[in-house]
Structure 1
Amino acid sequence: ISMHGGGGAPPRVNDQQWRNQIRLYAPSEGIVVAPRAPTDTWNLWHQSHIDDLFDRLIANFVITRGVNPDRVYLMGYSAGGDGVYQLAPRMADRFAAAAMMAGHPNNASPLGLRNLPFMIFMGGKDGAYGRNKVAAQWGKTLEELREADPGGYDHKATIYPQHGHWMNGDDREALPWMIAKTRDPWPKRIVWKQSGRTHERFYWLQVPKGVAKGGQQIEAEVQGQQVTIQSGGAQEIILRLSDRLVNLDKVVTVNADGVEVFKGKLERKARVIWESLKQRPDPNSVATAELHLELRR
């Protein structure tokens, strides 16, 4: 999925940017989808409806074109890069890798990128809105996150000192790096940081409808048969489980905020599979068992 630039401009300007984006990148394999943004606002690629649009877009291509849901990629230039900064952390469980070109993150947080390889490309002379400085800072932040959590935050940040906002196609080096990555829909560790546009499901974590809160952070990790959760104050969490994550024939133990909240076996159920597929036609992330935790204390 390749997002065009433009933004707060007349439709004809954004139409031109869209047509340019269609021609901008040509990977050696796969299908390039360059949508025209539904609006002409400055934040055209990170308004709340974009998440639903891309969910449906991915589903359509998985169902009708046989796209592998573990090999879906996100990229964008300028205002499209703004969208990558915002969408990649909040929809990280949908993508195998993401590349941001010449954008600005605004209020986005990189924490949700724990399991999503992320590239930054920026011209060193691209000083509008401090884009170059912010890109360098994000690269530094991702490096610090990687050092603290070596199993996550795979990234590459490239600042081209000779370029301004237009990078003359040098950013196309993102393509071979990205397509070498494959999504893991069942990572052993998750950092789920909600943005202002909340989601109910992230990898194998879920919260009930209407419970998600902007700014909330839930962390979860699996070691063997033990699941450890830092709830971030969430009072209800649903674990979406599969034999790809734990052995459902054996006892599973769950600790939340230092307290054991479950120990036992979980039954595989057709209903859970069906509900998972109704949420998303993504066979690789289908849960076969679930555990609803109430953490009110």
Structure 2
Amino acid sequence: MKNLLQGFLVSFLCLVFVLKVEAQTRQLEEWLEVKRSIRPALSDQEFSSESLNKKQAKKAVELLDRDQKFKMIQSYGEQWIGREIRYEEYKMPFFYKIWGEEPEDGRSLFLSMHGGGGAPASVNDKQYENQKKLYDATMKNMEGVYLAMRAPTDTWNLWHQAHIDEFINIIIQLAVIYENVNPNKVYILGYSAGGDGAFQLAPRLADRWAAASMMAGHPGDASALNLRNTPFAVQVGELDSAYKRNQHAAEWELILKNLHKQDSAGYKYMVKIPKGKGHWMQLEDAVALPWMQQFIRNPIPKKVVWRQDDVMHSRFYWLEVPESFMKKNGEIIAEFNTETNEINILENYSEELIIRLNDDMLNLDKPVTVKFKGNQIYRGTVQRNVRNVWNSLTYKGDANLAFSASLSIVNNQKVLNTKY
């Protein structure tokens, strides 16, 4: 009789939990049905911080992803159709052409940046027109959406000012919606001043790219550290000595070679310095497009190396630093181990580091261990909830970068199970 009562009690508690979880999903659906302009803040809704199971967390991602896509259509749909995106006081015209048959897992997207730079608008307009068709001979044997962007300004750093990052965020989301682009098959490339941009944007936004390629540019102050999980191609003509482009290309070959030697699972690269070629490589650089396309992004790599640029971001893959703690050139290195269900923080400059988690990374139904430089600082459960999903998914609009749980590491010593 005692065992029967215990069994009944367990079954009853399980039923109560299931009903509660289902109620949370219904509440989320009801909240999403409210017109966006009059919706109450999600953080004020009690259901948003209550615990979810794995199945319900997945459902929350689906619902919130659908809502995010609808928001993008409302906000930018007409601009996409008109081929000009507007952000703050800037405008970015763009052109795209679709090549090849659509794969089952969605199309590839090649974002292409023109040359020019600090010059009259007419010069950059001409370079933009050239960039539209520059790689047609290569793309006719490939698959993908080739999208050339016209820089919003005509300055020397036209491709790596802060607003470019948000334009790219918007364009990727819209390409996913309107042309069924696979967000894990997005590539960026640029020529000359566009190559300068590739040197800067490839590391800065490395969590968005499956691979990147730089043609005939120079790196400036760019660092290769963030490219641990992003294959990178460098191509500069042997005789392209302006701004020491050829010398910088040779230097980056050594940098990438050494990084790969130290970490053989990362830093895949290709460097080509065509003999006898100057700034115009006569399309020998086009080999970078099929080279890039062999790679597919892993949005949750087991090891992340993150160094802040002068244009800083609060999130990178599954790591986050509150804006108040962001620091130029600050470095974080962290990794997770699926087998041992643990996170190990190897380097961290920030007073607070947020680790975002989902069920593709670790088993969130079991205790999670957090270590700092190999020393355990936490072991315990984590809580999935709607608020975490919402907070992570709406930042970049990428369901592959949605996380249902998070842990906050304070001063590399204290760990908090957060609900945001």
* TM-score, reference length from structure 1: 0.97
Please, which of 180, 184, 187 is the counterpart of residue 73 of structure 1?
187
- Measured in 2, the distance between the counterparts of 1:294 and 1:62 equals 36
Query: Are 2:326 and 1:216 aligned?
Result: no
Does the aligned pair in 1 maintain the 2:302–2:336 contact within 8 Å?
yes
Residue 249 of structure 1 aligns to a residue whose secondary structure is coil
Distance 1:63 1:231 in 2: 37
Kindly state the Cα deviation for residue 258 of structure 1 after the two structures are TM-superposed. Answer: 4.7
Cα pair 2:372 2:412 within 8 Å, conserved = no
1:152 is matched with: 266
Deviation at 1:53, TM superposition (A): 1.2
Task: Report what 2:381 is aligned to.
Answer: 265
3-state secondary structure, aligned to 2:151: coil
| Counterpart code for 1:31 | V
Distance 1:241 1:98 in 2: 26
Find 2:172's aligned residue among 38, 43, 58: 58
Question: Aligned residue for 2:34?
Answer: none
2:229 pairs, out of 86, 101, 115, with 115
The DSSP-based 3-state class of the residue aligned with 1:171 is: helix
- Deviation string for 1:83-114 (max 9, x for gaps)? 00001101000010000000000000000000
User: 1:14 pairs with 106, 124, 149, which one?
Assistant: 124
Would you say 1:4 and 2:4 are equivalent positions? Answer: no
Percent identity for Structure 1 against Structure 2: 48
Q: SS at the partner of 2:255? A: helix
Instruction: Give the secondary-structure state (helix, strand or coil) at the position aligned to 2:243.
Output: helix
Structure 1, gaps ≥5 residues long: none
1: CA distance, partners of 2:132 / 2:191: 12
SS state at 1:43 partner: coil
Larger radius of gyration: 2
The correspondence for 2:399, drawn from 283, 288, 292, is 283
Give the drift of 1:2: 0.1
Q: For residues 57-83 of structure 1, what are the alpha-carbon distances to aligned partners after superposition, in whole Å with 9 as ceiling and x for unaligned? A: 111212232211101100000000000
User: How much is the aligned-residue C-alpha RMSD, in angstroms?
Assistant: 1.2
Matched AA of 1:2 = S
Amino acid at match of 1:233: Y
Instruction: Provide the rounded CA distance (Å) in 2 between the counterparts of 1:257 and 1:42.
Output: 41
* Alpha-carbon separation, structure 2, partners of 1:48 and 1:246: 34
Cα separation, partners in 2 of 1:11 and 1:78, compared to 1, 3 Å: same
Letter in 2 for 1:32: Y
Task: Tell me, in whole angstroms, the C-alpha distance in 2 between the residues paired with 1:62 and 1:212.
Answer: 30
What number of residue pairs does the alignment pair up?
297
In the alignment, the residues of structure 2 paired with residue 18 and residue 285 of structure 1 have an alpha-carbon distance, to the nearest angstrom, of 32
* Structure 1 counterpart SS, 2:324: coil
Q: Who is 2:106 aligned against? A: none
Matched, 1:207 2:321: yes
Which one of the candidate residues 364, 389, 401 is aligned to 1:248? 364
Q: List per-residue Cα deviations over 1:144-186 (Å, max 9, x = no partner).
A: 0000000100101001012000000111111111111100001
> What is the SS of the residue equivalent to 1:173?
helix
Where in structure 2 are the equivalents of 1:119-138 lying within 5 Å?
119-138=233-252
Residue 144 of structure 2 corresponds to 30
Aligned twin of 1:193: 307
Partner Cα separation in structure 2 for residue 40 and residue 117 of structure 1: 29
> Contact 2:348/2:412 (CA < 8 Å) preserved in 1?
no
- Measure the CA separation in 2 of the matches of 1:126 and 1:273: 48
CA contact (8 A) 1:63 1:281 kept: no
- Tell me, yes or no, if structure 1 residue 168 matches structure 2 residue 282: yes
Cα separation, partners in 2 of 1:190 and 1:168, compared to 1, 3 Å: same
For 1:288 and 1:77, how far apart are their aligned partners in 2? 39
Match of 2:98 in 1: none
> How big is the shift at 1:280?
1.9
**Equivalent residue letter for 1:198:** M
Task: Judging by fraction of residues, say which structure has more helix.
Answer: 2
Distance 1:169 1:196 in 2: 32
| Residue equivalent to 2:76 | none
SS of 1:31's partner is strand
Q: Deviations over 1:22-68 (max 9, x none)?
A: 01123211111111101101111011111111111111212232211
Counterparts of 1:279 and 1:8, CA distance in 2 = 32
User: Contact conserved, 2:159 with 2:194, CA < 8 A, in 1?
Assistant: yes
